[in-house]
Amino acid sequence: MTDTGPRLTPLAMLERLVAFDTESQKSNLALIDFVAGYLDAWGVPHRRLPNRAGDKAALFATIGPLRDGGVVLSGHTDVVPVAGQDWTGDPFRLRLADGRLYGRGAVDMKGFCALCLALVPDMLAADLATPIHLLLSYDEETTCLGVVDVIARFGVDLPRPGAVIVGEPTGLDVADAHKSVFTYATTVHGHEAHSAKPMLGANAVMAAADLVTGLNRIADAMMARGDASGRFDPPYTTVHVGTIRGGTARNILPKSCSFEWEFRGLPDLDLQEIPTRFAALADTVTRERLNRFGPFGRIETVEDAAVPGLAPAPGSPAERLALRLAGRNRTITVPYATEAGRFQRAGLPTIVCGPGSIDQAHQPDEFITLAAFEAGEAFLRGLIRECAAGWVPG
């Protein structure tokens, strides 16, 4: 191997990545351009997979032989917004203080991405017998769709991996399960009339109230059903209404009312159960409330995001590998959703394991400790040794 590329320490790499403002509503192309140039300098083959609009892209790179059976290290490049948060410094300038690295994305999850990229020269020097693949995605914080195009290419024109490690912050515990997240926007279309003459229209707000009450009943049923595995906190599928808007004046039947809602399902939940129950509820409310006095209204629901959960797969190649690298003897669950479920649905053994704590994510002065960052580096160096020795999924 010829050292032709720039050697950046993990800390220097993190500083570079944090400096890119890749909030989910913005483009990540400047960051992807930087990473592509860095990999080009080291002679690492990679492929860019843009979204339909062309303003974002995922990047897939391979260090080692171009063959099936390798290990994917997956991290997202997008971060949550900083607007309205009270930061004590520039969110997009890495700051070291009191053993902590502050910056937007420092823990969620540019820290993991920085470690993977900074260790590329070490991966090359190790002459890997088993390939390590790097996957940088987009839109994880909104839809988790940024990995879909890459996954579709596995086994077609990209090597099909034998294990996937999604490096979300788990404190390097190995998470083998998380809930799904499905989000919806429901709009109730009524008909305006004087509030003294309700028979002349349809009250969209009162119909929406019936729907929200129905979601409360579904939420109560999910809570009563509980979690047979006993591993999740909270130990049940949750149903939540986050926003509601409607009406123009106290004495006018509201023409429109909209609300946003979600459910976070346990891995064994039938993902059609809650949408089917809500659709039946909407039919009843349309008939009995909106159209009581005539064909005045309708209810429209749009699915905004559908992120599958991660189900336990005891003894999978990904689980055994990560437990060994992390020095753990048991798996955990995590309360947040990740891209891991999309990999698993494609038949790929997948776990979630990365440095730092999710408790520091999404808030002002987000940080990862130096100790956690260094532990993440040790984890990846262990993976390099495993792949140099010819790790195979089995």
Enzyme catalytic residues: 78, 140
Pairing of strands 57-63, 46-50: antiparallel
Q: What is the DSSP letter of 273?
A: H
For CA atoms 109, 111, 116, 121, the dihedral sign is: positive
First to last CA, the chain: 30
Phi-psi category of residue 65: left, alpha or beta, with phi > 0 → left and psi -120 to 50 → alpha: beta
Half-sphere exposure for 173 (CA within 13 Å, toward CB): 12
Q: What are the start-end ranges of the H helices in the chain? A: 10-18, 29-41, 110-118, 120-125, 148-153, 204-225, 273-285, 317-326, 340-345, 370-388
- Position of tokens 């059609």? 272
- For 15, phi then psi, to 5°, come to -60, -40
Q: Contact, 286 vs 294, CB < 8 A? A: no
Residue 194, exposed/middle/buried by CB under 10 A (0-12, 13-18, 19+)? exposed
Q: Which residues of 282-300 are buried (b: 16+ CB within 10 A; e: fewer)?
A: beebbeebbbeeeebbebe
CB atoms within 10 A of CB 207: 27
Radius of gyration for the chain, computed over Cα atoms and rounded to the nearest angstrom? 24
